[in-house]
């Protein structure tokens, strides 16, 4: 189950890169930086939910608790990638990287992490109905 959850996370990472490109090319020029960030974040939250619903049957958690474990894995991988790759591969300062976690400054990236954490559990519940 964890290997499959990780494979799906790589799909999510690819989709996040596409979302970021769409934000920079289409959304930000049309709406500006603050609104572009929020719109892009909300769009990606919907993408995460959709991917969770579609992929959860293949990932195969046997319980709600196992589905929550998938969410925890997704969040840990996302934060690790964001911080480690952002700093060591893309040479961003720690201050710049951590700025995206500052809700008081309108940075709503944490909504993606919240959605990633709970989407597998929500998808598990939806699939059980």
At residue 89 the predicted structure's pLDDT band, cuts being 50, 70 and 90, is confident
* Burial class of residue 104 (count of CB atoms within 10 Å of its CB; 0-12, 13-18, 19+): exposed
Instruction: Write down the pLDDT at residue 20.
Output: 93
Is the pLDDT at 96 greater than 80, yes or no?
yes
| pLDDT, position 112 | 97
Nearest Cα to 47, choosing from 80, 85, 79, 74? 74
Residue 129 has pLDDT above 80, yes or no: no
Total of domains in the chain: 1
Cβ contacts of 43 within 8 Å, gap of 6 or more: 19, 22
Split at pLDDT 50, 70, 90, the class of 63 is very high
On the question of pLDDT at 48 being above 90, the answer is yes
pLDDT confidence tier of residue 44, bands split at 50, 70 and 90: very high
b/e sequence 89-99, b meaning 16+ C-beta within 10 Å? eeebeeeebee
Q: Give the tokens for residue 79.
A: 């934060």
Tell me the residue range of the domain where 46 lies.
Answer: 2-128
Q: What is the largest CA-CA distance in the chain?
A: 46
Mean pLDDT of all residues belonging to the chain: 95
Of 22-26, 47-51, 105-109, the poorest mean pLDDT is in 105-109
Query: Nearest 10 degrees: CA dihedral of 67, 41, 100, 54?
Result: 20
Tell me: pLDDT of 127 over 90: no
The radius of gyration of the chain from alpha carbons, rounded to an integer in Å, stands at: 15
Whole-model pTM?
0.92
């Amino acid at each position: 189950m964890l290997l499959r959850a990780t494979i799906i996370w790589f799909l999510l990472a690819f989709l996040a890169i596409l979302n970021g490109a769409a934000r920079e090319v289409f959304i930000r020029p049309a709406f500006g930086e603050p609104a572009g960030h929020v719109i892009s974040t909300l769009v990606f939250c919907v993408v995460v939910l959709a991917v969770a619903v579609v992929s959860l049957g293949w990932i195969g958690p046997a319980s709600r608790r196992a589905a929550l474990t998938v969410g925890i894995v997704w969040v840990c991988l996302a934060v690790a990638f964001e911080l480690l790759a952002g700093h060591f591969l893309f040479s961003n300062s720690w201050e710049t990287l951590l700025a995206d976690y500052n809700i008081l400054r309108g940075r709503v990236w944490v909504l993606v992490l919240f959605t990633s954490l709970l989407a597998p559990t929500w998808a598990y519940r939806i699939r059980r109905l």
